[in-house]
Amino acid sequence: MTERLRIAVQKKGRLADDSFALLKKCGLRFAIRGGGLLTRVKNLPIDLLLVRDDDIPAFVSTGASDLGFVGENVLVEEQLTTEGGIDAQIDRRLGFSRCKLSLAAESGGDILSSTDLNGTKIATTYPGVLRKYLADNKIKATIVEMKGAVELAPSINIAQSICDLVSSGATLEANGLAAFETILQSEAVLIKSARTLSPVKQDIYDKLIRRIDGVTASSDSKYIMLNAPRAALEAISAILPGADAPTVMSLAGSDDMVAVQAVCTENVFWETLEQLKAEGARAILVLPIEKMMA
Ligand code: ATP
Ligand code: ZN
């Protein structure tokens, strides 16, 4: 039986759909059905281990799985709270599930900054990260550890403030709270242990990582095509965001206009198109790039 690379992925929740979508963009074919813990990828020797996100760092650390997709916040928390530490590090940043671990208190209340936390109680599901933040900043406060529904703590007088994940801030607002400080920025990350993979697994890993890099690189990249006055070529090339030397071709029946094509590795905004047009560019097309491999 051939060895299979095992990847731990959140079964259900805020990280799950984007993780599955990334794997599908990498060409992995699989179906997620209710119940099962292990899902086989049909076209590559990879198995997906479907679990709760909090367990992923430990699975990677102990070798139950080779790789894991997890929120950086969960990884850092597990690194800080697991006795003896864990053997799981960030291998790639994935750019989705961006959120912040923030301190928040009642809007219009007495707690306006972190120094006001001295002598108070703070509710959180991230005691490790919070404890470190308080120690680093010499703040003496009591941590009230909860398993969920942290945003309700101030209204039921369990704590005066909270330390919780925030993306838009709508949940905080709905509970009469406002964030006053961010203690950790987070995004989804691919984690791996420092152990050496077997040669077979290493090959599968190399193939997967090339594809992940290709998907991440192409997600912000655009292919841009335009016609430009020959005299404005230099000015126009300078505006193209993150583009190497563009391809320049002559246009049939025109001496002073050329066709320009380039891969822009950064996002192309409307403002960029307006600048290009101001330099004399015409017939500007911006196309998405599906895959890239250097
Ligand atoms: P599980 O049942 O797997 O333990 P959970 O309830 O702990 O799930 P989710 O709410 O699904 O976790 O969040 C998973 C991860 O998604 C978080 O650890 C964080 O990295 C990220 N995340 C959390 N909240 C947001 C948000 N509002 N926007 C974007 N990403 C978020
Ligand atoms: Zn969780």
Task: Judge whether residue 34 has pLDDT over 80.
Answer: no
Q: What is the mean pLDDT of residues 26-41?
A: 91
Q: Please tell me the number of the ligand nearest to residue 169's CA.
A: 1
pLDDT digits (tens, 9 = 90+) for 265-286: 888 889 999 999 999 999 999 9
pLDDT digits (tens, 9 = 90+) for 188-205: 999 999 999 999 999 999
For 13-169, where are the alpha helices, taking DSSP H only?
16-25, 56-62, 72-81, 127-136
Neighbours of 149 (CB within 10 A): 12
Choice from 165, 166, 172, 186 to test ligand 1 binding pocket (greatest atom count within 8 A of CB):
165
SS3 state of residue 270: helix
The whole-number pLDDT of residue 49 equals 97
Q: What is the mean pLDDT of residues 30-55?
A: 93
With a 6 Å cutoff on the Cβ, whether 187 touches ligand 1 is no
Neighbours of 288 (CB within 10 A): 9
CA 14–ligand 2 middle distance (angstroms)? 10
With a 6 Å cutoff on the Cβ, whether 13 touches ligand 1 is yes
CA 157–ligand 2 middle distance (angstroms)? 24
Kindly report the pTM of this predicted structure: 0.88
In this prediction, what percent of the chain has a pLDDT beyond 90? Answer: 88
Name the band, by pLDDT with cuts 50, 70 and 90, for residue 241.
confident
Q: What is the mean pLDDT of residues 84-108?
A: 96
Q: Nearest CA to 125 among 101, 106, 107, 105?
A: 101
DSSP string, 125-146: S-HHHHHHHHHHTT---EEEE-
pLDDT digits (tens, 9 = 90+) for 213-235: 999 988 889 999 999 999 999 99
Ligand 1 atom nearest residue 187's Cα: 20
Task: Judge whether residue 256 has pLDDT over 90.
Answer: yes
The whole-number pLDDT of residue 192 equals 98
Ligand 1 atom nearest residue 186's Cα: 20
Q: Nearest CA to 193 among 93, 85, 95, 90?
A: 90
Task: Judge whether residue 160 has pLDDT over 90.
Answer: yes
With a 6 Å cutoff on the Cβ, whether 263 touches ligand 1 is no
Name the band, by pLDDT with cuts 50, 70 and 90, for residue 149.
very high
Tell me the domains of the chain and their CATH numbers: 5-96+188-218 (3.40.190.10), 99-186 (3.40.190.10), 220-288 (3.30.70.120)
- Going by alpha carbons, the residue nearest to atom 2 of ligand 1 is 52
